[in-house]
Amino acid sequence: MPDITDTAQPKLIRATNPLAGIGWMILTGFLFVAVTAVVKHGAQELPAAQSAFMRYAIGLVFVLPMIKPMREAHLTTRQLKLFGIRGLAHTFGVMLWFYAMTRITIAEVTAMNYMTPVYVTLGAALFLGERVAIRRLIAVFLAFVGALIVLRPGVREITEGHIAMIGTALVFSVSYLTAKMMSDEVPASVVVGMLSVTVTIGLAPFAFAVWQTPTFAEIGWMAVIAVLATAGHFTMTLAFASAPVSVTQPVTFLQLIWSVAIGVLLFAEPIDAWVILGGLVIIGSTTFIAIREAMLRRAPDMNKEPP
């Protein structure tokens, strides 16, 4: 007899609110771009693993109000495993992201991070057996073209920062998938709280292996990052819960605009038209993918791509 305590819980029933979803995603984008700016300014001298660990360790203070809903969620073994997988993926993703952020421009980081939904689509096809129609395959191809426009291999040097961002998008795609799954089953506070706990634990051994004594200023900047990033994950989860991805995904293009503006105004980074063009190609492709996947979920025959 199967263990009924280990089966998936019913999805939470929420009314769709597109305007709220768009609003939460706009705020999410602003918060995440602000995180990149603070990392660029305040984490240049610290090892990436230590910076990431300090950000999550300090952020644990925000988990305190989430302890009660986390306990009351009565998570199943399946859900705990999924949160563990997300935490492990996010651990490596955040280390790679911190490393990349201190070595390439904010616009490059933002543009290449848009590849995450593309990897999600490929992963679903390769490992979950999901059918991907020709139109979505074309969108995936165009997204890779956009990435090549950003990187321009053979035209300029591909640095360790660029390679780190490729890895970041890959492992964040795993975190993205599980976050969406969990936002349909448990409250946003539980999703964010479990991420904070699992990633802090995952980062600890890597941070202690390269630990160097931080200055008071660096501790302060890590605290700011913790506030902004925790808020960003919370608002992102609320966006997922309020509206379909097909509604919220197009809004993410604003992050590229803000990242370019911050890079120019605060860090004197040159405007790279190729990075902007490549980013827009990736955004267009990922938005099309999100819309097609939303249509597929609504289609009467779940095994066929809608017309």
pLDDT at 211: 94
DSSP state of 65: G
With vertex at residue 231, the alpha carbon angle to CA 143 and CA 51, rounded to the nearest 5 degrees, is 80
pTM for the full predicted model:
0.75
> Per the domain annotation, does 176 fall within a domain?
yes
Residue 304 lies in a domain: no
Q: Is 143 inside a domain boundary? A: yes
- Percent of the chain with pLDDT strictly greater than 90: 23
Domain span at 82: 15-298
Q: What is the pLDDT of residue 129?
A: 65
Give domain status of residue 4, yes or no: no
Rama region for 129: left / alpha / beta (φ>0; ψ in -120 to 50; rest) = left
Q: Which residue has the higher pLDDT, 16 or 48?
A: 48
Number of separate domains in the chain: 1
Q: pLDDT of 201-257, one tens digit each?
A: 999 999 999 999 999 998 999 999 888 988 887 888 788 778 776 677 777 778 888
Kindly state whether residue 224 falls inside one of the protein's structural domains: yes
Closest CA to 101 of 113, 89, 90, 91: 113
Instruction: Say which residue, 23 or 293, is predicted with more confidence.
Output: 23
Report the alpha-carbon distance of residue 271 to residue 274 in Å, rounded: 9
- Position 1 pLDDT exceeds 50: no
Give pLDDT tens digits for 67-86: 888 888 888 888 889 899 99
Indicate whether 96 belongs to any domain.
yes
Q: Does some domain include residue 279? A: yes
Contacts of 282 (CB under 8 A, 6+ apart): 111, 114, 115, 118, 143, 146, 147, 150
Chain position carrying tokens 């911050």 = 262
301 vs 212, higher pLDDT? 212
The C-alpha atoms of residue 21 and residue 34 are separated, in whole angstroms, by 20
What's the mean pLDDT when you consider all of the chain?
A: 82
Contact 190, 70 (CB under 8 A): yes
Cα dihedral across residues 16, 22, 23, 27: positive or negative: positive
Residue 92 has pLDDT above 90, yes or no: yes
pLDDT at 298: 61
Mean pLDDT for the stretch of residues 120-142? 76
Residue whose structure tokens are 């991805």: 245
Q: What is the pLDDT of residues 154-212, one digit of tens each?
A: 788 889 999 999 999 899 888 877 877 777 788 878 888 888 899 999 999 999 999 99
105 inside domain: yes
